[in-house]
Amino acid sequence: MDNPDDWDPLRHPGHYFSRIARGLTRVGDVRLRNLGLATAQLPVLTALKDGGELSQKELAKWAKVEQPTMAQMLSRMERDGLVRRVPDPEDKRSHLISLTDATVEKLPAGRAILRQGNSEMTKGLTDDEIKTLVSLLRHVLENVDSMEP
Amino acid sequence: MDNPDDWDPLRHPGHYFSRIARGLTRVGDVRLRNLGLATAQLPVLTALKDGGELSQKELAKWAKVEQPTMAQMLSRMERDGLVRRVPDPEDKRSHLISLTDATVEKLPAGRAILRQGNSEMTKGLTDDEIKTLVSLLRHVLENVDSMEP
DNA sequence: TATACAAACATAGGAACCTATGCAATGGAC
DNA sequence: GTCCATTGCATAGGTTCCTATGTTTGTATA
């Protein structure tokens, strides 16, 4: 009930997740900065990479962030010329978001940076270990998503 | 070189880490809120739980965050009565930070919440799988920490 | 049709992270 | 002892996340 190990961060997977995520974001953001991109924008780029037009709501759902978070990010991306927002002809409350041509041109370079980071992150792990890791991560994510506050 | 899977978030462990970390933070913060604690404060609580007094610099290093991040968090924690800062008699630039009695009294309840979250997070995994996961996470963290921007 | 509910977005406010930079105390070189 | 680089913090500015709440448009119901 009061095991001292409870407070040992090394026994808390949560601590690892937080530190790995922060580290990846920090390194990724620096590497993407020259391109004018950021790691938090990757889900948006992914969703729109083939010329698609999605609403803010759809993008928030895809990226698994709350609506105000996506609203702010799209504002910044629009300010920086990364995306375009045109009124949705079928719903005056909504806008359709798409990538600008300049952004599409940046995608290949972004791809290379991502691939590089991905391989550095799993350096020293066998293909089987990586598969195991992804499978365990998937399981944990499912548990986390089903956790009630 | 331009494999479309490069943009598939399901193939990017980084995406899992980010989503798991965010999910754990969100749920953990809600559950700790009644106690007046937050997940980001856990490393500080851990470091000082036995009555220790550490400097801001030492706490930042322990929590693996930058110095300004720790400065801000300690300000909030002091504002909320969680920690105390007394001048370091041996270095007038520095203060020694310690937990208040009120905070120490909250620790057992915090422990219970942590243990509960930890078990929910790994629900459905065997002890061996959890051990494997932690070992892989440790490996990835090491890689991430050694990544150059 | 009028009213009420729901949906899409905007805005406010705050926490936690970062980099860049400034300031004051310290401590070593001379 | 004086000078100067280093160290410990503080502050500024910005991004990404959250919750809570308001506004406008769309939809369905009485």
pLDDT at B148: 81
Closest residue, chain A, to B33 (C-alpha): A149
D28 C1' – A90 CA distance, angstroms?
18
In degrees to the nearest 10, what's the CA dihedral of B132, B138, B141, B142?
A: -130
Q: Where residue A1 falls among pLDDT bands split at 50, 70, 90? A: very low
Would you state the structure tokens that stand for residue A55, as one six-digit string? 């609403």
Please give the CATH number for the structural domain made up of B4-145: 1.10.10.10
Mean pLDDT, residues B126-144 taken together: 94
Helix A13-33 crosses helix A101-121 at what angle (to 10 degrees)? 140
Contact B54, B94 (CB under 8 A): no
Q: B26 — phi, psi (to 5°)?
A: -60, -50
Asked if strand C comes closer than 7 Å to A79 Cβ, the answer is no
Flag whether pLDDT at A147 surpasses 50: yes
The angle formed by the CA atoms of residues A109, A110 and A113, to the nearest 5 degrees, is 90
Contact B56, B67 (CB under 8 A): yes
A121 vs B108: CB contact, 8 Å cut-off?
A: no
pLDDT tens digits, one per residue of B14-66: 789 999 999 999 999 999 999 999 999 999 999 999 999 999 999 999 999 99
**Nearest in space to A117 (alpha carbons), one of B70, B1, B120, B143:** B143
**Nearest in space to B69 (alpha carbons), one of B34, B43, B90:** B43
Contact B59, B98 (CB under 8 A): no
- Three-state SS sequence of B23-44: HHHHHHHHHHHCCCCCHHHHHH
Q: If you average pLDDT over every residue of chain A, what do you get? A: 91
The angle formed by the CA atoms of residues B71, B73 and B78, to the nearest 5 degrees, is 95
Nearest Cβ partner of A123 from B21, B143, B145?
A: B143
Class of domain A38-111: mainly alpha
Give residue A31's identity as a one-letter amino acid code.
R
Give strand pairing partners of B95.
B87
Flag whether pLDDT at A3 surpasses 90: no
- ipTM of the modeled complex: 0.88
The angle formed by the CA atoms of residues A149, B119 and B10, to the nearest 5 degrees, is 75
B14 vs A145: CB contact, 8 Å cut-off?
A: no
Asked if strand D comes closer than 7 Å to A144 Cβ, the answer is no
* Distance (Å) of CA B131 to CA A13, A126, B126: 10, 17, 9
Residue nearest to nucleotide D26 (CA to C1'): A91
pLDDT at B144: 94
Would you state the structure tokens that stand for residue B41, as one six-digit string? 């404060």
pLDDT tens digits, one per residue of B78-88: 999 999 999 99
Chain B residues close to A23, C-beta within 8 Å: 141, 144-145, 147
Contact A60, A67 (CB under 8 A): yes
Contact B83, B101 (CB under 8 A): no
Would you state the structure tokens that stand for residue A93, as one six-digit string? 């409350």
Q: Where in chain B are the domains?
A: 4-145
